[in-house]
Amino acid sequence: MTTEQEPDPSEQTEVRWRPLHLLVAIFIGLMLLVGSLDVTMRYAFDAPLSWGGPVVGLFLGLTIFSGMIIVTGEDEHITVGLLDRWIVGRRRKIQSILVYVVSIGSMFFISERMLASSLRSYENENQHMMIDISVWPFSAIFAVLSFISGLLLLRNLFRLLTKRDKAV
């Protein structure tokens, strides 16, 4: 006889992020589908898809930038505790603030670079070097998604700064 266990609330995702989880799952599924089709066509029929690799790369970018919003929104970034035993108390909060500041700067820098690339590609009517598809929409999407991640990091920093507790 099996009993159903209630899922741990800490493992449940917030409802507001579920559509993005679905979007990431769709991008991963499409990436796997195109990759599998490419490999099958290459080895079974000696006819690889000329567009397979670039399309997988575009789906990979969409997956990463969409997933970045989920991870940032839930404040669930991977952390490595190399210095944790030496950084305690108030210094841990300072370390977290510094990490947020660098991350925010990085996200806005990525966003600005992707936007500049998108505008340049749009003005020059650049196509992908391997397939006949405009590159600028993807760069623009990446710019928007990284900008949103930067805003979510700002929100997370604000939450950290307004906490009364000095321990993080």
Specify the pLDDT at position 9: 53
Distance from C-alpha of 162 to C-alpha of 106, rounded to nearest angstrom: 23
At residue 78, the 3 state secondary structure works out as coil
At residue 43, the 3 state secondary structure works out as helix
Q: Does residue 38 surpass a pLDDT of 80?
A: yes
Specify the pLDDT at position 7: 56
Specify the pLDDT at position 2: 53
Q: Does residue 12 surpass a pLDDT of 70?
A: no
E runs forming strands in the chain:
none
* 50-96 confidence digits (pLDDT tens): 888 888 988 999 999 999 999 888 888 777 777 677 777 788 888 88
* 101-156 confidence digits (pLDDT tens): 999 999 999 999 999 999 998 888 877 776 778 888 889 999 999 999 999 999 99
Q: Does residue 15 surpass a pLDDT of 60?
A: yes
Cβ–Cβ < 8 Å for 146, 68: yes
Q: Does residue 23 surpass a pLDDT of 80?
A: yes
Specify the pLDDT at position 126: 77
Can you give the pTM of this predicted structure?
Answer: 0.78
Specify the pLDDT at position 122: 87
Average pLDDT over residues 14-38: 89
Specify the pLDDT at position 39: 93
Specify the pLDDT at position 43: 92
Residue 142 structure tokens: 């990446």
Q: Which residues of 99-114 are buried (b: 16+ CB within 10 A; e: fewer)?
A: ebeebbeebbebbeeb
Specify the pLDDT at position 88: 76
* The dihedral formed by the CA atoms of 168, 104, 69 and 58, expressed in degrees to the nearest 10: -140
Specify the pLDDT at position 114: 94
